Structure 1
């Protein structure tokens, strides 16, 4: 069995990669050891940056249709779910639109998101099939599946989770705190009508989240041995209502970053590359940004308009982001755990992560003259500096600058067009007032600025440098 890209793992990250590569016309095969899509809610937030990516795939309306109303984009701190707020804060870019983006994030459950992503491409998917070995050969990668099938692929994209078989078989290590403890999620039903909308509520007795707009709840907290789960949940609810616990799942809260994101023709993404605590909703969304970064690069190499050295920029760009995200997520988790001791952690700043979500900037050979890159803070400050995400502004009603990057590179120019050679390119004429500068901006397919050009005549050289220049980091 042959394919261009073998995707290992059928969670949101692997399914998003399949959809992105499908838009580039890349042949993929996805294998997933589970027999079906996840029946568990798990990830709870699709942030504003991920929704920008799904907007480009035409999936934002379908995702929003099965999500909560935006009023649920709020975090609350209470003694019990039925008690008054001790503190409350909106999730920026979810509760209300932000001027910096054409999209709006949503609170939704993973088991509602995954079917939308699965339907976004028609390439083959094999559920109930696990990868057991992966070997790089002279011209491709040979993957062995648990049914004895051998798959030969040009590249393997591993998104098979924190306990990744691929990462283990390649001998790639991890760095970071490691395990932060064993936790339990209890999915339950209870009549909790009349409560104000909340996306997540932290109490000293555990954290509570609504699962679906039509009903259902989840409690999670540190594992309690031999627990009476209805009693545990009732204590957190603080209300005399019947509680029906439907299922209980124990899991480990991991916190690490892989020491490398690439080994030859195999690339790591999502929890395989970085497992972060779920507090703050950064884990899945960081994985979605991973594959958004790497899929256009894979397409360029496979279609011949980019050199293989472009793939080295994936680790150079995403590895520092993973470390910053891990630091933020661990801080979120530890401060939230303090709620058990009656502390209310920095509620005004909770989910105030727009700088980390929209302010990510890259430094690699795929960015020309980036200058000094500032560490993203709480707030997002738009900038036209290379390496940063292209600022959003409306080109026409309903059409954002980010929409111009859907089919490849985008050239925003105050002058005329320029020949692009074999590279996929869309030219967007803008005024000097709109762009805020003279000349042109070359924006990569992932929406990040690749170069500032004084004249469009510089375009072919810039495209060649971005897609074929010497790599920022050595090939692994």
Structure 2
């Protein structure tokens, strides 16, 4: 691989790196993506693409093909059983996955990472170099020089980049080279995933779910056409385990046909947040910045939101309509989200354990095997719409004309749509098939019932798109006849004027504040 000069070097070709690749292409940034593996992951790994991630992927034109290869909405459910062959003793739906919600134009999906990644790779974007490993880097005032090794040819090369976006996983080489420490529990357990084929329709066809939690590990359907995975703690004698026998016993007696083990993967469950998300021109994202337990499906989705927040800022700096200081707001905005995500993911794991413990106590007390137990959370808990859609950014990239900061960034389970600065722009249908979120692109967007008033204030260099709001929609958003909402390219509200702005410099002042 010859030496190259790029604007952004992306390290890591998982879902987060692949999404960053597509976003940077959309914003006209010349990038390169390097991945040390020989190919995309053959393991199912991450399984849930939540509603916010699907909104982002809709912008990239990928939501439809991803949904086409995913499970039907009725699989957006968790079922608790003693063994897979037993009846449910508890069940919970995943809100935003199991059925459409009025708060979004899309629905989240259950799909395996080995189905998601190839679809992400079809998006226009930078070259992806497989078997190219990041080794080290040196940063100076103008950019970063990265040392890479091509494992196919054995050759070393140096790549010069203006910025490096690290999406190279929980064991991030980039983070380690920078000496960035982490906070949180750290490694919380060794886990094994066994991918296998078996005919389980007898027990599952009439009661579909994306996850079956049993006393002997969890079972996950992998693809609509078939395939399964078992996931559980790694046994101490893993090297001598007969995985076919283990899965067969976990399934329980009465299995029709045999179990064919296809792949076995051992991995470490991590729980941490990096102390810093930025080191000069190097920025951490995804598991490199935060690794969270898998319960609730929050990890990958948080990483996708990371790069959605970051890539428009990189584009603005590289294209000259934003100041380099804008990149400081990436950590300011995303690190609190990572902290809260880790807290809720740990809580998810504890709540699932509580459900299993209650069942164990019930059986020990002699209760009937088919008796139900009450789950220790509401039906809405695992969707966590407040965390998925209700994030509030509080930083210099959010403007308030009266110098009052945005409201509390506390994140709850439920989501209340609001046009408060810092919040995600609420979804409303502008036409039968066009959402307010569809008005947001690789530009700053001004939604207003009075475009003529605001057009008088527009100046270079900002890429600004002004769109008419009907009086009905303006009223829904609490805007007067001359009000406006300034939306950042990541869909979060940068500024709000309930009615006519104070003077003709209000919009340029807000734009300068958000992008400086």
**Alignment match, 1:198:** 209
CA drift of 1:7 comes to 0.1
Bigger shift: 221-230 or 98-107? 221-230
**Alignment match, 2:305:** 289
Partner deviation per Cα, 1:308-357 (whole Å, 9 max, x = no partner):
00000000000000000000111112332445544665253441311110
On the 8 A contact 2:165/2:284 being kept in 1, the answer is yes
Whole-Å separation in 2 of the counterparts to 1:395 and 1:155: 37
SS in 2 for 1:464: helix
On the 8 A contact 1:202/1:339 being kept in 2, the answer is no
- Correspondent of 2:166 among 135, 153, 158: 158
SS in 2 for 1:188: strand
**Alignment match, 2:330:** 314
On the 8 A contact 1:184/1:223 being kept in 2, the answer is yes
On the 8 A contact 1:6/1:153 being kept in 2, the answer is yes
Bigger shift: 115-124 or 156-165? 115-124
Quick check: 1:346 aligned with 2:376? yes
Bigger shift: 318-327 or 432-441? 432-441
On the 8 A contact 1:203/1:339 being kept in 2, the answer is no
CA drift of 1:431 comes to 3.0
- Correspondent of 2:422 among 387, 394, 399: 387
SS in 2 for 1:133: strand
SS in 2 for 1:316: helix
On the 8 A contact 2:391/2:409 being kept in 1, the answer is no
Note the aligned Cα RMSD (angstroms): 1.4
**Alignment match, 1:182:** 190
**Alignment match, 1:360:** 391
Structure 1 runs not aligned, ≥5 long = 469-476
CA drift of 1:371 comes to 2.8
Whole-Å separation in 2 of the counterparts to 1:30 and 1:365: 30
On the 8 A contact 2:66/2:119 being kept in 1, the answer is yes
On the 8 A contact 1:234/1:240 being kept in 2, the answer is no
**Alignment match, 1:455:** 500
Whole-Å separation in 1 of the counterparts to 2:20 and 2:500: 35
Relative to the length of structure 1, the TM-score reads 0.96
**Alignment match, 2:365:** none
SS in 2 for 1:99: coil
CA drift of 1:216 comes to 0.6
Relative to the length of structure 2, the TM-score reads 0.88
SS in 2 for 1:364: coil
On the 8 A contact 1:205/1:340 being kept in 2, the answer is no
SS in 2 for 1:102: coil
Where do 1:189-268 residues align within 5 Å?
189-194=197-202, 195=204, 196-226=207-237, 227-241=241-255, 242-268=258-284
Whole-Å separation in 2 of the counterparts to 1:246 and 1:240: 22
CA drift of 1:149 comes to 0.5
On the 8 A contact 2:286/2:300 being kept in 1, the answer is yes
**Alignment match, 2:67:** 64
Structure 2 runs not aligned, ≥5 long = 150-154, 361-372
Bigger shift: 412-421 or 243-252? 412-421
On the 8 A contact 1:207/1:220 being kept in 2, the answer is yes
Partner deviation per Cα, 1:33-69 (whole Å, 9 max, x = no partner):
0010001000000000000000011100110111111
Bigger shift: 159-168 or 339-348? 339-348
Partner deviation per Cα, 1:389-429 (whole Å, 9 max, x = no partner):
01100111211111111231111112124224221121111
Where do 1:102-181 residues align within 5 Å?
102-146=105-149, 147-181=155-189
Whole-Å separation in 1 of the counterparts to 2:182 and 2:431: 46
Bigger shift: 438-447 or 413-422? 413-422
Where do 1:91-102 residues align within 5 Å?
91-102=94-105
Whole-Å separation in 1 of the counterparts to 2:106 and 2:83: 33
On the 8 A contact 1:89/1:347 being kept in 2, the answer is no
**Alignment match, 1:426:** 465
Distance 1:411 1:420, change over 3 A: farther
Partner deviation per Cα, 1:87-113 (whole Å, 9 max, x = no partner):
112111111000000011100000000
CA drift of 1:246 comes to 1.5
SS in 1 for 2:199: coil
